[in-house]
Amino acid sequence: MTATPDSRAAGAQPGGLRARPSGRAAALRRLLVIVLAAAAWLAAGCTTLPPPAGRTPSHAYTDTVQTPLGQAVAPAVAEHPGRSGFLAFEDPHDAFAARVLLAGAAERSIDAQYFVWHDDAVGILMWQALWQAAQRGVRVRVLLDDANTAGLDPLLAALGAHPNIELRLYNPFPTRSSRALGYLGDFSRLNRRMHNKAFIADNQASVVGGRNIADEYFGAADGLGFADLDVLAIGAVVQAVSREFDLYWNSASAYPAAPFVGPAPADPAAVLQPRFDAVQRDPQAARYLQAVRGAPFVRELLERRLAFDWATAQVLYDDPAKTLDADDRADLLLLPALMQRMGMPRRSLDIVSPYFVPGETGTAMLAGLARGGVQVRVLTNSLASSDESVVHAGYAKRRLDLLRAGVRLWELEPGAAAASMRVRGRFGPAKVSGLHAKTYAVDGARVFVGSFNFDQRSAHLNTEMGLVMDSPQAAQQLARVFETEVPEVAYEVRLGADGSSLQWVEQRDGGATVVHDVDPETSLWQRLKIGFLEGLPIDWLL
């Protein structure tokens, strides 16, 4: 995972993910800017941010060793000096249970940072857990990216009225009624989002990974679910996650929510308690909570047999100044640090990324590794399983070049079997409808888990974060997933006999092999649309 020598000259920062714009592409991009600028004057009076009144700096508590959580993790941490403990959550019920249990155990503080927090069963249950913690006297800080808060203002106003809950919006939209109008007025700023995800309790335990707070990420959605990955961390690395949170919380892009979401209700509890009660009474939510109580993580926790993987680790993240800097300064970016920390692959590189847009230079980098004898394997979404078909177009145009170089590609089947994927719990839909995990492993020795997609948006526009763990156990587990599980739930994309066409190879139950000559389970219209999008100079947005 390293830059090619000419990547900077080609218009990319280290990491080789940015495609070099052609003259036509540059002209079309300038045209897009002109069109947006011409429209912006219509919205100019509606897109001015208010002054950041009340933005008082605050930081993570450091004197939390004597909290119940601190005392619970102290013996194990002491037995592994210089290392941190990690527990991966593939099962969505485990991931939900860990957050709720951490919220329930916290005594001093909870910090939560998310890109998406939906007003659904999981979202309300998590808010209830935070509200109950605040009622106990726990300081709760929540930092939400504002791109996905439409319709949540009354709920946020009620939550923020609690004296122990402070809410901030990252890179907010001044126009609450229309996100589109906001984009027209300030596209350059609002196109850059905070994609980070972290949950920290008492500065003693944290959960970092790919999951947003919504039903579809935790096995609670009816007919929709994402295969995702989180890591529960204890030990010294947790303080580093807290430093990341503090940096964003106190950044110039984090605004107190109150001026945006409106006045607090006179009686916040009277607004919130009916919402909490309604979810608790909902039969589907009740079944979900029952399933969570039986999650493997809960059982192992109660039986005191949680098996942490102990490893040296580092938290990597973009500087929040990336949101306000349009020059793509390498010193602000996660990607160069990620490449340096993971090192040059010598034997293997495994990539799991739901949105995979390597660009021209990134394609050349991966192709060069494969031609040099490195085993390069990629799992991403198929056109049928992707929730972002436009992003799929940025990947589809690179498949031939990657395959010709020897890179192996798999695309998740829509409705991948739960039992095979081992990423679903025992409740809810029996199928995974899309991939959302972001994890990479190098040489069976180091692994990254976080929010960073292998695409242009993560590299150059959004802010991201994640953990790099020096864990052969975790890296080799990902390798085993590619060898034994991925072929059961994903199409392997191969070159056709002519070397210029593609085939999708599907392994069905019973050992049958089916070869598809077009993107499986898609319509002609879907494929035509992707073909059209492939020709547009939009990789920089994807």
Catalogue the active-site residues.
Answer: 195, 197, 202, 436, 438, 443
Other Cβ atoms less than 10 A from the Cβ of 119: the count is 16
Q: How far does CA 199 lie from the centroid of its chain?
A: 13
* Bridge partner list, 493: 409, 504
Separation of alpha carbons 150 and 172, rounded Å: 11
CA count, 13 A, side-chain hemisphere, 176: 13
Separation of alpha carbons 395 and 248, rounded Å: 31
Burial 101-110 (b: 16+ CB within 10 A, else e): bbbebbbbbb
Quick one: tokens of 511? 């050992």
Strands 313-317 and 109-114: unpaired
CA count, 13 A, side-chain hemisphere, 358: 27
- Residues 441/478, Cβ–Cβ less than 8 Å: yes
What is the torsional sign of CA 474, 214, 173, 165? negative
Separation of alpha carbons 471 and 476, rounded Å: 8
How far does the chain reach from its first CA to its final CA, in angstroms?
Answer: 20
- Which amino acid would we find at residue 123? G
Sequence-distant (6+) residues with CB within 8 A of 493 are 399, 403, 409, 410, 411, 502, 503, 504, 505
Separation of alpha carbons 424 and 421, rounded Å: 7
**3-state SS assignment for residue 41:** helix
- Which amino acid would we find at residue 218? F
CA-based nearest residue to 116, from 183, 216, 240: 216
Other Cβ atoms less than 10 A from the Cβ of 483: the count is 10
